[in-house]
C-alpha cells in the first residue's frame, strides 16, 4: 500500500467564477422539507466547468463532502494559494474531461459557502437564521439541487458523482429522480451510517455546543475551541493507522524529550491543532451541526418501509462503486453490499476496492487509480448517451 504524499498535477482549469441560483420567492416555489417546514428565498452557489452541449446530455454533477464547497477546481483569483478541492481530476484529458463534459458542483443546502444555511438571512425576520434554520436531510439537499438542474435546462444528468457525504447525495439522487440520472459513481460512502459514525458526529456537536462562545448558536465570533475540537475528532476518522504512523509515528514536535506538561509534545498533536484552528477560519459552527445531523438521519430505506431493495426498485442506471481498503469510517462492506443489492436489482455495476493506506481520505488522494476507473466508466456512459 502506498501512503507517501502524492503531488497533484498543476491545475488545468485556470480562473473560474462562482454563480448563484435563487428560487423560492413565491408561495408555490418554496422548498418543502422532510421536517415538515418550508424554505423560501433559497440561494444555491455553484460552479461549472466545460460546456453544455446542444442536446444538454453531457452534464455531470459532482457532490462535495461534509466540509466542501462548490469550488471543485481551478482558482478564483491569480493570488489563490490552492485550487479547488478535486482539481486533479478536472480539465482536458482528465477524468472530468472539460473538452467532453459539462461539470457542475454546488454548495449544499445548509452549507456556509454561498448556499442558504444557518448563517443566511431569514427573509421573515431580516436576521440570520442561526438555530431557527430548519433541520434538513440529505434528500432535502438533493431536492434543492434538482431546482438548479432544472434551471440549467438539463433533463437528464449523464452522471452524479460523490465521495463520503457526497456519495450519499449521489446515491439519493436516482432514488428521488430515477429518470434524471444516467449513472452514479459512489465513492467511499454508504446508504446509511453506522452507530459508530453517529457517535463521532454526536461528540463533535457536543464539543461545539459546550463551548461558551457558541451562545446557543447566537455567536458573533466562531466558538473556536469547540469547533476546532469537532474538526480534530472528525479528521482522525479520515485517516488510517498506517497513514498516521507513516506521517507522524511518535515523533516529537520540537525537542528530543518530553515537556512534562500538557502542551503539544508530539507532531501528531500539533498537526491536529493546526487542522482544527484552520478549519475555524473557513467553516461555520452552526452549519457543522446541521450537516452532521443530516448525515446521521441519512438512510435511503426510511421512506420505503425500511426495505433497501424497495428503495432502489425504480433505479436502473449503471453504477461505479469504489471503496478503499484502509477506510474504517466507511469500510468496504458498505460498498460491497450496495453493489450486491444493485446487481440483484438488475443494474449494471462495476465495483472496486482500491488498496490504499490513506484511510477515508483516499477518495481525494488516490486520484490516479480512482481517475482511471472514472475515466473508463464515464467514457462508456458517454458513448451510450452522447455517441
Q: How many CB atoms lie within 10 A of CB 7?
A: 7
DSSP 190-259: -SB--HHHHHHHHHHHHHHHHSGGGGGGT-SS--HHHHHHHHHHHHHHHS-HHHHHHHTTT-BSS-SS--
Who's near 40: CB < 8 A, 6+ residues apart? Answer: 24, 25, 27, 29, 30, 31, 123
CA–CA dist 163, 285 (Å, integer)? 22
Q: Which of 240, 327, 361, 382 is catalytic?
A: 327
Residues pairing with 252 in the sheet: 266
Per DSSP, helices labelled H in the chain are 138-151, 165-176, 195-210, 224-238, 241-247, 267-280, 285-297, 308-311, 332-344, 362-365, 367-385
Q: Quick check: is 164 catalytic?
A: yes
**377 in helix, strand or coil?**
helix
Q: Quick check: is 284 catalytic?
A: no
Could you say which DSSP state residue 186 is in? E
Q: Which of 115, 164, 186, 287 is catalytic?
A: 164
CA–CA dist 335, 349 (Å, integer)? 11
Q: Quick check: is 307 catalytic?
A: no
CA–CA dist 336, 124 (Å, integer)? 46
Distances, alpha carbon 16 to alpha carbons 34, 162, 247, 387, in Å: 34, 21, 33, 28
Q: Which of 183, 197, 360, 382 is catalytic?
A: 360
**105 in helix, strand or coil?**
strand
Hey, which residues are catalytic here? 164, 327, 360
Amino acid at each position: 500500500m502506498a501512503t507517501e504524499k502524492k503531488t497533484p498535477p498543476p491545475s488545468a482549469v485556470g480562473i473560474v467564477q462562482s454563480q448563484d441560483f435563487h428560487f423560492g420567492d413565491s408561495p408555490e416555489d418554496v422548498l418543502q422539507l422532510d421536517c415538515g417546514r418550508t424554505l423560501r428565498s433559497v440561494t444555491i452557489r455553484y460552479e461549472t466547468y466545460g460546456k453544455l452541449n446542444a442536446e444538454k446530455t453531457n452534464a455531470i454533477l459532482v457532490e462535495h463532502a461534509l466540509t466542501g464547497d462548490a469550488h471543485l477546481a481551478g482558482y478564483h483569483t491569480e493570488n489563490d494559494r490552492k485550487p479547488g478541492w478535486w482539481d486533479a481530476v478536472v480539465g482536458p484529458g482528465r477524468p472530468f474531461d472539460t473538452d467532453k463534459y459539462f461539470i457542475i458542483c454546488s454548495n449544499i443546502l445548509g452549507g456556509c459557502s454561498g448556499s442558504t444555511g444557518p448563517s443566511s438571512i431569514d427573509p421573515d425576520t431580516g436576521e440570520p437564521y442561526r438555530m431557527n434554520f430548519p433541520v434538513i436531510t440529505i434528500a432535502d439537499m438533493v431536492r434543492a439541487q434538482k431546482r438548479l438542474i432544472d434551471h440549467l435546462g438539463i433533463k437528464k444528468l449523464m452522471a452524479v458523482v460523490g465521495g463520503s457525504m457526497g456519495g450519499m447525495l449521489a446515491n439519493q439522487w436516482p432514488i428521488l429522480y430515477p429518470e434524471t440520472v444516467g449513472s452514479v459513481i459512489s465513492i467511499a460512502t454508504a446508504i446509511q451510517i453506522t452507530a459508530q459514525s453517529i457517535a463521532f458526529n454526536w461528540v463533535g456537536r457536543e464539543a461545539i455546543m459546550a463551548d461558551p462562545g457558541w451562545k446557543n448558536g447566537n455567536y458573533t465570533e466562531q466558538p473556536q475551541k469547540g469547533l476546532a475540537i469537532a474538526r480534530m475528532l472528525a479528521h482522525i476518522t479520515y485517516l488510517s493507522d498506517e497513514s498516521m504512523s507513516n506521517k507522524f509515528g511518535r515523533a516529537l514536535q520540537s525537542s528530543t524529550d518530553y515537556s512534562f506538561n500538557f502542551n503539544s509534545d508530539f507532531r501528531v498533536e500539533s498537526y491536529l491543532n493546526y487542522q482544527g484552528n484552520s478549519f475555524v477560519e473557513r467553516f461555520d459552527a452552526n452549519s457543522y451541526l446541521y450537516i452532521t445531523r443530516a448525515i446521521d438521519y441519512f438512510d435511503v430505506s426510511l421512506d420505503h418501509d425500511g426495505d433497501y431493495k424497495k428503495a432502489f426498485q425504480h433505479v436502473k442506471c449503471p453504477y461505479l462503486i469504489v471503496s478503499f481498503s484502509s477506510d474504517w469510517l466507511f469500510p468496504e462492506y458498505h460498498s460491497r453490499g450496495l453493489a450486491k443489492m444493485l446487481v440483484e436489482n438488475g443494474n449494471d455495476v462495476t465495483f472496486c476496492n482500491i488498496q490504499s493506506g490513506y484511510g477515508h481520505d483516499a477518495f481525494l488522494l488516490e486520484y490516479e487509480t480512482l481517475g482511471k476507473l472514472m475515466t473508463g466508466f464515464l467514457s462508456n456512459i458517454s458513448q451510450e448517451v452522447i455517441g
